Amino acid sequence: MDYSLLWLDWKRREALPSYTGTLCGEVKTGEGKAALRELIAGFQAMRGRAPTLSSQKESPCLRLEELEGPGEGFSLLREGEGMRLRGCGKGLLYGAFYLLRHLALGEDFPEKTSSPAYPIRMLDHWDNADGSVERGYSGNSFFFREGGPVCTARTADYARLLASCGLNGSCINNVNVKGNALYLLSGKYNKELREIAACLGEYGVALWLSVSFSAPMELGGLPTADPLDEGVRAWWRDTCASLFAAVPNLAGFLVKADSEGRPGPHTYGRSHAEGANMLAQAVEPWGGKILWRCFVYNCTQDWRDTKTDRARAQCDTFAPLDGLFRDNVYLQAKNGPVDFQIREPVSPLLGRLPHTNSLLEFQLAQEYTGQQRHVCYLPAMFREVLDFRLRHREEQDTVAESIQAVTAVSNTGDDYNWTGHDLAAANLFGFGLLSWDPKADPAKIAREWSILTFGNDPRVTETVCRILLGSRETYEKYTVPLGIGWMCVPGVHYGPSPEGYEYDRWGTYHRATCRAIGVERGPEGTGYTEQYAPALAAQYRDVETCPEELLLFFHRVPYSHRMKDGRTLLQRIYDDHFEGYEEAEEMARAWESLKGRVPEDAFRRVQERFREQLRSAREWRDIINSWFYRLTMIPDKMGRTLYL
Ligand code: GCW
């Protein structure tokens, strides 16, 4: 096998309950059969012996009861010394994985009745047709090779991994549609797409494709892509008719329009609603959906322009369009208003679309959070976002209660361990569990992932959880302070460069001088705070009530600003950087202590990554600290080296 099975590599478990020796009941659907197959293989691996199959009701056994319909929920209940798993085909599949995971954790009768919070729970791959992956940190694509899509054994195991943690969709190509990816719509790759779709479909995973808004011109040779042009509308209708007929299990399209140079409706003086609705009508006869990204901002800003605020752009563009989208359109918004930084406020747009389907986008690929070379456990951050109260209503006002679907930019590639860093697989697993149940506990997720991955050794579990659970704060401390973002090397987004983006066109400024730093985003400044509900706007507007970890996102303050604990802002920045590096050292030491307790190959891979994390963390600490010192000439109170 040239790749790992990650958390699906079931380990032997002593004294399994006796019902795992017999499976009874009949299954009819593809997903039901997949559930049965997984249970047989899982029980066999854990018991060391295959279970027997019986069509009679025997006791004790695991009895499968398949219902008709598309439902995804399941119930898993004790029946004497046995258990009964009940649900439609997909439900059986999720229930089977639930049972296997919990048996592996050492539970004998893990009873559960559950259904997912959202009908769309997916991954976005930024995979290009040439096999490269935009912001990919774990090798090349396993969906595309030599210019076209491929279906391999890995596709099937990918589908199993997704289903095992509750995910049910995959958009396999980059939102920046380029090269041969354009021809995914043309019929040229229908055979491969059909194979991929069928392979994913066996595990309840729907196929999605990213499409270019100007495909009618690029592919169809039309003179325009104007969404109100009859020829354009007919082209999309015909193209969808042949594609959806040829590729069953195609769920719809993801579109990045009028964003970072991509074509879109604005070229023709049309709105995003007109653009998205035109595509929505074309896919409607096929039950298709349009996922329309909201990552729209001016990416050719002049740094001297202090009026334009990139953080405002998405709300300014999309909030006025709320309610104008067709039912099969989902507006896809990133979790923060800017771009997947280590600390951002929750995007105000998520509270401004009460009459439109919205889809929350996270990023598992750690573009700005260590690129899968640094450990940075993200489920805790995701949970913070999902729990965040948007305050437009008195109750049921959290992000989790305001959205209709979730997705995440994938962190997978064709590396042996799928995610480059072995510990980054915990992010993928955790995102899946949260997409099913936004109330899932990140600490429990870490524990479960560790046991499924490394086995049930309490020392290993405790150490791995300690590393994971502190990792985001540690990363934040040695990199970019208090929500300011962007002090990374332009383009690659790895390593420190305090002014790398300062005079560039991307709208990402901190505007530091020798006296103060930050962009004022209250009403006296860019007015960004006013995009939130009144209660939140009031909190963010005021330096005193603004959450401290977001201080420099919302306000421009002098370095002498007093933090709540009495330290100055600048002293806090110095301290964080020294502490962050020490914490990184501590995590690396903790990993060293697991030598001999986790498989040697995984041990070595992670050890390698920690070496790079420490090198990079030291570099961040020293470059950021000395840059602030040069700017302010205010020394560190503790007299530590600032590398002048
Ligand atoms: O953060 C930026 C990335 C781009 C990406 C873009 C987006 C796919 O640097 O690589 O393009 O976000 O989300 O569209």
Q: What is the pLDDT of residue 437?
A: 98
What topology is assigned to 481-632 in CATH? Alpha-d-glucuronidase, C-terminal Domain (3.90.1330)
CA of 260, closest atom in ligand 1: 14
The sign of the CA dihedral 462, 464, 465, 470 is positive
Q: Whose CA is nearest to atom 3 of ligand 1?
A: 135
Look at residues 19, 15, 17, 10 and name the one whose alpha carbon lies nearest to residue 44: 10
With cut-offs at 50, 70 and 90, classify the pLDDT of residue 519: very high
- Nearest CA, atom 7, ligand 1: 295
pLDDT band at 407 (very low <50, low <70, confident <90, very high): very high
Q: Pick the catalytic residue: 260, 327, 462, 542?
A: 260
Residue 176 beta carbon below 6 angstroms from any ligand 1 atom: yes
Domain ranges of the chain: 3-114, 120-455, 481-632
Sheet containing strand 74-79, strands side by side: 52-54, 22-24, 62-66, 82-87, 74-79, 112-114
pLDDT of residue 209: 98
Contact 167, 120 (CB under 8 A): no
* CATH architecture of the region 120-455: Alpha-Beta Barrel (3.20)
Cα–Cα distance, 546 to 552 (Å, whole number): 10
Question: Is 502 known to be catalytic?
Answer: no
Count of all residues that appear for the chain in the document? 644
Please state, in angstroms and rounded to a whole number, the distance separating the CA atoms of residues 508 and 488. Answer: 11
Look at residue 1 and tell me whether its pLDDT is greater than 90. Answer: no
Supply 13's token pair: 């478990």
Q: Tell me, yes or no, if 339 is annotated catalytic.
A: yes
Q: Please, are residues 541 and 523 in contact by the beta-carbon 8 Å criterion?
A: yes
Return the closest-CA partner of residue 581 out of 539, 549, 625: 625
Please give the structure tokens belonging to residue 505.
């066109």
Each residue of 19-46: pLDDT tens digit?
Answer: 999 999 999 999 999 999 999 999 999 9
Q: What integer pLDDT is reported at residue 55 of this predicted model?
A: 78
pLDDT value, residue 643:
81
pLDDT tens column, 376-397 = 999 999 999 999 999 999 999 9
pLDDT score for 523: 97
Cβ-contact 43, 1 below 8 angstroms: no
* pLDDT higher than threshold 90 for residue 644: no
Determine whether 367 is an active site residue.
Answer: yes
Q: Is the pLDDT of residue 57 over 80?
A: no
Q: Given a cut of 90, is residue 77 above it in pLDDT?
A: yes
Ligand 1 geometric centre to CA of 51 (Å): 48
Q: Please give the average per-residue pLDDT across 142-161, as a whole number.
A: 97
Structure tokens at 325: 């989208």
Q: What is the mean pLDDT of residues 506-516?
A: 97
Name the pLDDT band for 614 (thresholds 50, 70, 90): very high
C-alpha of residue 80 to centroid of ligand 1, in Å: 53
Percent of the chain with pLDDT over 90: 98
Contacts of 475 (CB under 8 A, 6+ apart): 342, 369, 370, 374, 375, 376, 580
Count CB neighbours of 28 within 10 A: 10
0.85 surpassed by pTM: yes
Please report which residue ranges of 332-438 form alpha helices under DSSP H.
379-387, 399-402, 425-436
What is the domain class of 3-114 according to CATH? Answer: alpha beta
Among candidate residues 202, 339, 344, 476, the one labeled active-site is 339
pLDDT of 204:
97
Contact yes or no for 244/294 (Cβ under 8 A): no
- Which numbered atom of ligand 1 lies nearest the CA of 135? 10
Which residue type occupies 228?
L
Q: Where in 275-382 does DSSP place strands (E)?
A: 289-293, 329-334, 357-363
Per the CB < 8 A criterion, the answer to whether 411 and 137 are in contact is yes
Distance in Å, CA 485 to ligand 1 centroid:
15
Pair of tokens at residue 76: 């898993």
pLDDT digits (tens, 9 = 90+) for 176-216: 999 999 999 999 999 999 999 999 999 999 999 999 999 99
Domains 120-455 and 481-632 share a fold: no
Average pLDDT over residues 420-433: 98
Cross-strand bridge partners of residue 389: 398
